[in-house]
Amino acid sequence: MTGPITHLLNRTLEVRRPVSAPDGYGGQTSSLALQPAPVAAKVDQPSASDRLLAAQLSSKHSHDIYLQPSADVRRGDELRDPGTGEQWLVLAVVAPSTPVYHKAQAQLIQGEGEPDG
């Protein structure tokens, strides 16, 4: 993995993708399937002003996650850091006009009883 932002990507995240299957009763069950290749990423922490603006706009977007342009990350995927246990739901993936990186706009998924952060 090489590229202009490679040196900034300091975390390895698992990618879990939603899949559905027939439940045998006419409906479907959904689960998250672990994708074979983890992705290198940089997770930006939101600033105080970012959090205030998001709260005022009722935004679900809490973190920007920077990835290699070739990373297979899609809207609806869940990114997990196996080292810290942190998880994010990908709301959108955007790229600049020059494909140097992809940015996943994501929402932190907090476990029950965890403080806001």
CATH of the domain at 56: 2.40.10.270
User: Rounded to whole angstroms, how far apart are CA atoms 91 and 77?
Assistant: 8
User: Rounded to whole angstroms, how far apart are CA atoms 78 and 111?
Assistant: 14
The dihedral over CA atoms of 20, 21, 26, 27, expressed in degrees to the nearest 10, equals -30
Output the pLDDT for position 114.
Answer: 58
| Residue % of the chain over a pLDDT of 90 | 58
Q: Is 55 exposed, middle or buried (0-12, 13-18, 19+ CB in 10 A)?
A: exposed
Q: What is the pTM of this model?
A: 0.79
Q: Give the residue numbers spanning the domain of 66.
A: 6-17+33-109
Whether 22 is in a domain gets the answer no
Mean of the per-residue pLDDT values of the chain: 85
Whether 72 is in a domain gets the answer yes
Asked whether the beta carbons of 93 and 75 are under 8 A apart, the reply is yes
